[in-house]
Amino acid sequence: MGQDVSQVLFSREDRIRYRQKVRRCLDVFALMLDDLGFDADRPTTGLEIELNLVDADAEPAMRNAEVLENLADPTFQTELGQFNLELNAAPRLIEGAGFADYEQDLRESLGRAEELAVKSDATIILIGILPTLTPRHLVLDNLSTNERYRVLNDSIVAARGEDIELDIRGVERLQTHTDSIASEAACTSVQFHLQVSPDNFANYWNASQAIAGVQVALGANSPFLHGRQLWAETRVALFEQATDTRPDELKAQGVRPRVWFGERWISSIFDLFEENVRYFPPLLPICDDEDPVEVLHAGGVPKLAELRLHNGTVYRWNRPVYDIMNGRPHLRVENRVLPAGPTVVDMLANAAFYFGLVCDLAEGDRPIWSQLTFSAAEENFHAAARRGIDAVITWPRLGEVRVTDLVRDVLLPRAAAGLDRFGVGAAHRDRLLGIIEERCRTGRNGSVWQVEAVRAAELGRGMDRSQALHHMLRRYGELQRTNEPVHTWPVEG
């Protein structure tokens, strides 16, 4: 949620007016989908990367305000925790050498940020969950100073009415309580954006949902939280629980969670916005002065501020986005399932696999979602988060299949075909998809490397878990800066 917020207390009148405005925006959005020309001439892509700051001892460094002030770069913004930053890459086409342009820009931006972070006695880590975080770091006082985070925290905690319980059962088990949403700050992700037309949006969103489990299995990079080895991609469980506004009674009644996979395939982007309005009460009932009906009738492009703000507080793993650029409205699928890291080239390999595969599936003759139940797609997602690259999932005509076999035998050729549709240069296509293939061949991703490195430190160096996690993270940072893909990283060093 990127909008700044200054209002802290909301009245009943605020909530009533906001609900009315959201529904008015939804009605206008429906009219726009029927009649207005959306910008969808060429499939622009985007990337957002959430970053962590650590000090020389591999501890979280609460210095994002200082680093941002020194950067003075609008492509970097605050995130929830004071040890977080977010980098927004400039949108671009991926045809030709588009991925190489992304790689150069991201490495230059991160290099510049790293130089300035060092001046603040910090360094940058790209990882799903910072393994040296402990409960003492994830407290209300360590939220970023932007008022919107405090307001969001107060709204979620008030909606729940009690402490937030974390109970994650993996290789080990974590049980704890927290009185704020600060634990969410541990979840650092990479988000892929793909601009699509209104007519094609449903196909691309459905395809994104269908492959979410495969993405997580390949890209898992979050095995540790509070010193415990949990899921291969613990970030999924943590994010789902850390922002849950439902006490047990509402869960038992089937009330939807705000971090939501969804419950059905869709036929239009309108389905998603309508579900958001129908199922989720507002957390931030802030109204804009715009009357979207008047703007539309006058030939303008409505901002739909209330609808967009509300959409930003429903945390779908594949989120619909309405936005305006250069006076033209457009729609995007925001793919939010993957953790950050381990390297820039690993994230771009993940991006190439996603963009290529989702394109081929969405544009194919027989939709994958007509052959796969929605509940199976959700079960695949959570099975992949638990087991990572060793996961077994369900796939049409194959039944239960190892993710690595599915990717190598079926999905990589389709991802390559999709990248060809985008016009991606063959050398760039083969380099990035080759990284995915090697991950599958070796069975090694970021999560696997972290677990093996910690085990080696514990067994080979006689370290306890905390010492091993700190040792692993320092080594991780060194290897991250080489930009060599994680499947090639040595465990010892």
Q: Whose CA is closest to 424, among 100, 101, 96?
A: 96
**Would you say residue 4 has pLDDT above 80?**
no
Give the C-alpha separation, 306 to 258, whole Å.
17
For residue range 258-314, what is the model confidence (pLDDT) as tens digits? 999 999 999 999 999 999 999 999 998 999 999 999 999 999 999 999 999 999 999
Identify the band that residue 422 occupies on the pLDDT scale cut at 50, 70 and 90: very high
Q: Are the beta carbons of 440 and 407 closer than 8 angstroms?
A: yes
Which residues lie below 8 Å from residue 49, measured CB to CB, with a gap of 6+? 86, 87, 89, 106, 126, 190, 191, 340, 347
For residue range 326-357, what is the model confidence (pLDDT) as tens digits? 889 999 999 999 999 999 999 999 999 999 99
Give the C-alpha separation, 258 to 321, whole Å.
16
Which residues lie below 8 Å from residue 142, measured CB to CB, with a gap of 6+? 62, 81, 82, 83, 182, 185
Q: Using the structure block, give the residue that is written with the tokens 């991802």.
A: 415
Q: Whose CA is closest to 308, among 327, 336, 325, 286?
A: 286
For residue range 196-247, what is the model confidence (pLDDT) as tens digits? 999 999 999 999 999 999 999 999 999 999 999 999 999 999 999 999 999 8
Identify the band that residue 8 occupies on the pLDDT scale cut at 50, 70 and 90: low
**Would you say residue 381 has pLDDT above 50?**
yes
**Would you say residue 6 has pLDDT above 60?**
no
Q: Using the structure block, give the residue that is written with the tokens 């006689």.
A: 462
Q: Using the structure block, give the residue that is written with the tokens 């067994």.
A: 459
Q: Are the beta carbons of 393 and 380 closer than 8 angstroms?
A: yes
Q: Using the structure block, give the residue that is written with the tokens 């009738």.
A: 297
Portion of the chain with pLDDT greater than 90, in percent: 89
Give the C-alpha separation, 487 to 448, whole Å.
9
Half-sphere exposure at residue 439, Cβ-oriented, CA atoms within 13 angstroms: 37
What is the rounded average pLDDT of the residues 27-31? Answer: 95
Alpha helices, H only, 363-411: 374-387, 403-406
* Confidence (pTM): 0.96
Average pLDDT, the chain: 95
For residue range 156-177, what is the model confidence (pLDDT) as tens digits? 998 888 999 999 999 999 999 9
Give the C-alpha separation, 113 to 76, whole Å.
9
**Would you say residue 444 has pLDDT above 60?**
yes
Tokens of 10: 């909301």
